[in-house]
Amino acid sequence: MPPMIALTAAALGVAALGRTLAREWRRINEELEQMRPAEAVDPSRLPKLRRDPSTGVYRPE
């Protein structure tokens, strides 16, 4: 009978560990999803920049 109790306790421990790991996995994925940028910027919509020779500053055309 004691081996059966040990196996049951081990199975319960593995199940609890699995639940904890799954919960932590979901929490980390939610944090990473919040940090992901919403949309990528389309380069064709950005203004072209031209360097001002007198100041060296780049300005939109």
Q: Is residue 56 part of a domain?
A: no
Q: Is residue 57 part of a domain?
A: no
Q: Return all residues near 61 (Cβ < 8 A) that are at least 6 apart.
A: 47, 48, 49, 50
Q: How is residue 2 written in tokens? A: 């004691």
Residue 50 has a pLDDT of: 93
Q: How is residue 54 written in tokens? A: 């007198």
Q: Is residue 23 part of a domain?
A: yes
Q: Is residue 16 part of a domain?
A: yes
pLDDT digits (tens, 9 = 90+) for 2-32: 999 999 999 999 999 999 999 999 999 999 9
pLDDT digits (tens, 9 = 90+) for 29-45: 999 998 887 777 888 88
Q: What CA–CA distances, in Å, run from 43 to 37, 49, 52?
A: 16, 12, 22
Q: Which domain holds residue 13?
A: 1-39
Residue 22 has a pLDDT of: 98
pTM: 0.53
